[in-house]
Amino acid sequence: MDLSTNYLGLKLRTPLVVSASPLSEDVDNIKRLSDAGAAAIVLYSLFEEQLRQDRLELNEHLQNGTDSFAEALSYFPEPDEFRLGPEEYLKHIAAAKKAVNIPIIASLNASSNGGWTSYAKQIQQAGADALELNIYYIPTSLELTGTEVELTYLDILKAVKAEVTIPIAVKLSPFFSSFANMAKRLDQAGANGLVLFNRFYQPDIDLETLEVKPDILLSTPMAMRLPLRWIALLHGRINASLAATSGIHRASDVLKMLMAGADVTMLCSTLLRHGIPKITAIERDLIIWMKEHDYKSVRQLKGSISQENCAEPAAFERAQYMKAICSQMNAIV
């Protein structure tokens, strides 16, 4: 059975890639993921904003209360140097590369122009095989237009492309007025891949404390419907690789995504929920299904039910939504 696929120009043994998650914070876990059959690993994200916040906080705490009382002119020893930058992350890339033979894709979440380019360069130097730009951005300003938001994405991509030579994937949210157009422009701007879709933390309300609290929920298989549609729509229309992420929990989910046109499928919640060996189980189930259904390779599957190749292209479009509602309603009545 040939499970191999191509993502960002990287040849992968299977389409099962581990997406950015706390699992990759530990090199031992990275080894276990590789041993379990992961074809590539996207490392947890380097958050520029967090680094910046840490620096400001450190400065604040080191200054707090100093030089105000004769007996305690300071409260902390101050070492000659601090490791406040991305050094740990870069060291981690190198350690991960050393530990496994599969591609290591770094993930960068920057908040300033400088952060995007300088960190991207350092990530390449540290040995990452590719870089995922996690443009984690919720435009909440009432003054910001959609056009400006789109330009921001394109500018970041272009700036990073100009600085590094490793392949770049852009992890996107689905919240664009014309997502297909956005995908095309990112493709034209040089994105080697699009990762669909980013899941944002959605705030929740605690009824007891009457407070808003950020609640991180693991995905459910339902979440895969959104990327499934857009992958099916984009397959064959852009050059960039397509990675499916969100709600991929079972081999059947992987199959559907591949059929829609994904080059790889990214796993996270299912591994957090069931443990690293789940990846082995998915691969096994994938092979069983393919054998049962007489498929020889992933290549065969890929895009076989994309909009372009499916029997009913309109099924991926809005009209079908109304029809589905109607049939659902009829069933209830």
Partner 1 sequence: MKKPLVFKTIDGCEAAAYVAFRLNEAMAIYPITPSSPIAEWCDQWASEGKKNIWDTQPAIIEMQSEGGAVGAVHGMLQTGSISTTFTASQGLLLMIPNMFKFAGELLPTVFHVTARTVATHALSIFGDHSDIMACRSTGWGMLGAASVQETMDFALISQAASMRSRLPFIHFFDGFRTSHEVSKIELLDESVLRTLIDKKIIAEIRARAMSPDKPVLRGTAQNPDAFFQGREAANNFYSACPDIVQKVMDEFAELTGRKYNLFDYVGAPDAERVIMLMGSGCETAHETVEHLAAKGEKMGVLKVRLYRPFDGRRFVAALPKTVKKIAVLDRTKEPGATGEPLYQDVVTALMEETAASRSHLMSLPQVFTGRYGLSSKEFTPAMVKAVFDNLSVVPKNHFTVGITDDVSNTSLKYDPEFSTEPKNVVRALFYGLGADGTVGANKNSIKIIGEETDNYAQGYFVYDSKKSGSMTVSHLRFGPQPIRSTYLVSSANFIACHLPGFLDRYEMLRALVPGGTFLLNTPHSKDDVWSKLPTPVQKSLLAKKAKFFVIDATKVARDSGMGGRINTIMQVCFFALSGVLPKDEAIDAIKKSIKKTYGKKGDEVVKMNLQAVDNTLAHLHEVPVLDNKLNGSGPFLPPISPEAPEFVRDVLGTIAAGFGDDLPVSAFPLDGSFPTGTSQYEKRNLALDIPVWDEKTCIQCLKCVAICPHATIRAKVYDVAELKNAPATFKVTDARVPEFKGLKFSLQVAAEDCTGCALCVDVCPAKNKTEAKLKAINMRPQVPLRSAEHDNWNYFLTLPEFDRRKIKTTTLRQQQILQPLFEFSGACAGCGETPYIKMLTQLFGDRAVIANATGCSSIYGGNLPTTPYTKNKCGRGPTWCNSLFEDNAEFGLGFRVSIDKQKEFAEELVKKISNEIGDELAIGILTADQNDEAGIYDQRERVVALKLKLQKLDSPEAKLLVPLADQLVKKSVWILGGDGWAYDIGYGGLDHVLASGRKVNVLVMDTEVYSNTGGQMSKSTPRGAIAKFAAGGKSAGKKDLGLIAMSYGNIYVASVAMGAKDEHTLKAFVEAESFPGPSLIIAYSHCIAHGIAVDMGVGARQQKLAVESGQWLLYRYDPRRAERGENPLQIDSSAAKSKVKDFMMTENRFKMLTKSKPDDAKKFFGQAQADADRRWKFYQFMAARDTKVENAPFTASKQPTAVDA
Using alpha carbons only, give the angle 277, 282, 287 rounded to the nearest 5 degrees.
Answer: 130
Q: Does 207 bind partner 1 (CB under 8 A)?
A: no
With binding defined as CB under 8 A, does residue 81 bind partner 1? yes
Part of the chain binding partner 1 (CB under 8 A), chosen from 53-61, 257-265, 272-280, 281-289: 53-61
77 lines the binding site for partner 1 (CB under 8 A)? yes
Crossing angle of helices 278-292 and 251-260, in 10° steps, is: 60
Is 64 a binding residue for partner 1 by CB under 8 A? The answer is: yes
Dihedral pair phi/psi, residue 78, rounded to 5°: -115, 110
Near partner 1 by CB under 8 A, which window of 62-70, 170-178, 263-271, 320-328? 62-70
Report the distance separating Cα 303 and Cα 233, nearest Å.
10
Interface with partner 1 (CB under 8 A), residue total 38
User: Does 68 contact partner 1 by CB under 8 A?
Assistant: yes
Residue 295 DSSP label: -
Cα angle: 139, vertex 144, 148; to 5 degrees: 90
CA distance 181 to 147: 12
60 binds partner 1 (CB under 8 A): yes
Q: Which residue has the tokens 């009545």?
A: 333
Using CB under 8 A as the binding rule, whether residue 49 contacts partner 1 is answered as: no
Q: Is 69 among the residues that bind partner 1 (CB under 8 A)?
A: yes
- CA-to-CA distance for 264 and 234, rounded, in angstroms? 14
Query: What one-letter code names the amino acid at 18?
Result: V
Among the candidate windows 31-39, 58-66, 218-226, 304-312, which touches partner 1 by CB under 8 A?
58-66
Q: Taking contact as CB under 8 A, which single stretch among the options 171-179, 206-214, 304-312, 325-333 is the one that binds partner 1? A: 206-214
Query: Contact residues for partner 1 (CB under 8 A)?
Result: 51-52, 54-85, 88, 209-211
